[in-house]
Amino acid sequence: MSNYTPTKADKFTFGLWTVGNRGRDPFGEAVRPAIPPTKIVEKLAGLGAYGVNLHDNDLVPIDATPAQKARIVRDFKKALRDHDMTVPMATTNLFYDAVFRDGAFTSNDPKVRALALQKTMNAIDMGAELGARIYVFWGGREGAEVDASKDPRDGVKRFRECLNYLCAYAKSKKYGMKFALEAKPNEPRGDIYLSTTGAMMAFIETLDDPKMVGVNPEVGHEEMAGLNFYHVVGQALEAGKLYHIDLNNQKGIKFDQDLRFGSENIKGAFYLVKLLEDSGWSGPRHFDAHPYRTEDEAGVWDFAAGCMRTYLILKEKARLFNRDAGIQTILSQIRAQESESGLHALMGKFSPAKAQKLKQQKFNKREMAAKGLRYEKLDQLVIDLLLGAR
C-alpha cells in the first residue's frame, strides 16, 4: 500500500486564501493570525505541493503603492524559486471591497465596471509575471437580491463585454493565458448570475473567442444547488472545456463551506478523482477549501496535508476499481451489449434509409424491460471497495 505522500508530480495546488483563511465568518471574528504568503509557499512546498494560486489582494493589499507592490512581488517570486513552487493560476478579488457590493463587471454603475476592468488588467499583469497560465473569474458579487434593479439580460451583456475586453487584453500582451469561469448559485449575493457550470459553458459560446475560455467548476458550488459534480465535470471534460478545477467538500445544500477535500461526500469525491485520473487530466489538482475555525496554525497544515492524502487514497481506489474482478465483470457485461445488439447500422449518423429500417424494427419490449441490471450489486462492490472491505 502506498504511503500516500504527495509529490510534485501530483500537481497539488492551494490558493493563498485557503490555508491563509483566518476563520472570519458572518457570525464571528478571525481566529487565526495572518500567515505571510512567503511562509505559505515554504510550508506547502514542505508538504509536497506543486504550487500556489492567488487573488491579487491575497498577495498585494488593495491600497498598496507601486513601490510596496514591487517589493512584495519580488519577495514572493524569491520564495517560489527557493521552494521550487509555481503559480499555475491567478485571479482577481472583485468581491471584498465595498465598491463591488452590487457587482463588478455587471454593476449598474459604469464607473464600477471600469474600475473592475482596470483592477483585473493589473491583476492579469501580475499573474503573468508570476507565470500563471490560467486566469480564473469568480464573480462573487455578479448577482442580485432585488431583481427590479437589473434585467438579468443586461447582467449577461455586461459580463460578456468585460470578458471580451479582457480576452483581447491578455492576447494583446501575448500572455498565452486561458481564462476559466467559475459559477456559484448564490452567496454572498441572494442569487448569482450564470449560476452553474452549465450556464457558464453556454455563456462562453457567446464570447468573441470561445476557445480561449473554459470553466473552473468547484465541488461545493455545484453541490450547493444539489447537482451531481461528477456529471458536471463529465460534461465539461467531454466538451473540452475543463480548464481548471476547485476541489473541496460541502455538507449538502446550505451555506458555502469549503471543507477539506473528501471529508464529507466520500463517494462523490471518489468518482471525481476517478474521472480526472481516467481522463488523463493534466492540470493542477487545486484545493479551494479552508481549515475549520477550530484550528490553530498547526491545524492549517493538517488540513492541507489531509486534502492531498485523501486525493491520493481515492486515486488508489480508482486504480483498484479498474482492476476489480467483481466490478469489471459487471461493467464488461454492460459494454458487451454494444456489440451484441446488431442495431448500430440503423443508428449513428442519420440517413433516410436507416430511419426507414429503424421504424420497421421489431422490439421485444417486455423482455427488454424485465432484465435486471445488477446495479445494486455493482454499487455495493463500490461501497465495499471504498470501505476497504474487499
Rounded to the nearest whole angstrom, what is the least distance from the CB of residue 332 to a copy of itself in the complex?
A: 12
Nearer Cβ to a copy of itself, position 9 or 370? 370
Helix, strand, coil distribution of the chain in percent, nearest 5: 50, 10, 40
151 noted as active-site residue: no
Q: CB 151 → a copy of itself: shortest distance, Å?
A: 7
Q: Which residues contact 152 (CB under 8 A, 6 or more apart)?
A: 144, 193
Evaluate whether 284 touches 244 at the Cβ level (below 8 Å).
yes
**Which residues, including other chains, have CB under 8 Å from residue 273's CB and lie 6 or more apart?**
311, 314, 315, 317, 318
User: What is the residue-wise DSSP string for 337-365?
Assistant: HHHHS--GGGSSS--HHHHHHHHH----H
Quote the least distance from Cβ 97 to a copy of itself, whole Å: 7
State the catalytic residue, choosing from 56, 58, 258, 324.
58
Q: Which 317-356 positions form the footprint of a copy of itself (CB under 8 A)?
A: 317, 321, 327, 331, 334, 337-338, 341, 343-344, 346-350, 352, 355
Tell me which of 48, 88, 262, 283 binds a copy of itself, using CB under 8 A: 262
Q: Which segments of 95-171 are extended strands (E)?
A: 134-138, 143-144
Residues 355-384 that bind a copy of itself (CB under 8 A): 355, 358-359, 361, 363, 365, 368-384
**Nearest 5°: phi and psi at 206?**
-95, 5
Region from 36-44, 65-73, 82-90, 189-197 binding a copy of itself, contact rule CB under 8 A? 189-197
Note whether 109 binds a copy of itself by CB under 8 A: yes
> Smaller CB distance to a copy of itself: residue 232 or 247?
232
Distances (CA, A) of 217 to 111, 186, 235, 245, 355: 30, 14, 11, 5, 39
Alpha carbon distance 109, 68 (integer Å): 30
CB of 249 to a copy of itself, least distance (A): 10
In whole angstroms, how close is the CB of 210 to a copy of itself at the nearest point? 8
Residues 136 and 91 sit within 8 Å (Cβ to Cβ) = yes
253 lies in the binding site for a copy of itself (CB under 8 A)? yes
172 counts as binding a copy of itself under rule CB under 8 A: yes
Can residue 174 be called a binding residue for a copy of itself (CB under 8 A)? no
Q: What is the DSSP letter of 100?
A: G
Tell me: does residue 34 bind a copy of itself (CB under 8 A). no
Minimum CB distance to a copy of itself, residue 48 (Å):
15
Which cell numbers in the block locate residue 320? 483498484
Edge-to-edge strands of the sheet including 89-91? 213-215, 178-182, 134-138, 89-91, 51-55, 12-15, 285-287, 246-247
Catalytic-labelled residue, pool 55, 244, 286, 290: 55
Kindly state whether residue 282 participates in binding a copy of itself, applying the rule CB under 8 A: no
DSSP 190: S
Contacts (CB under 8 A) with a copy of itself, residues 59-98: 95-98
Asked if residue 27 binds a copy of itself (CB under 8 A), the reply is yes
Q: How many residues bind a copy of itself (CB under 8 A)?
A: 166
Q: Pick from 73, 293, 319, 329 the residue near a copy of itself by CB under 8 A.
A: 293
- Residue 352 vs residues 13, 107, 236, 342, 358: alpha-carbon distances, Å: 52, 52, 32, 19, 10
58 as an active site residue: the answer is yes
Q: Candidates 188, 281, 319, 329: give the one binding a copy of itself (CB under 8 A).
A: 188
Residue with smaller CB distance to a copy of itself, 134 or 170: 170
Q: Which of 246, 254, 349 is nearest to 17 (CA)?
A: 246
Grid cell of 217 as nine digits: 467548476
Q: DSSP character for 260?
A: P
Site for a copy of itself, residues 199 to 238, rule: CB under 8 A: 199-206, 223-228, 230-232, 234-235, 237-238
Question: Interface residues for a copy of itself in 138-157 (CB under 8 A)?
Answer: 140-141, 145-153, 155-157
What residues act catalytically? 55, 58
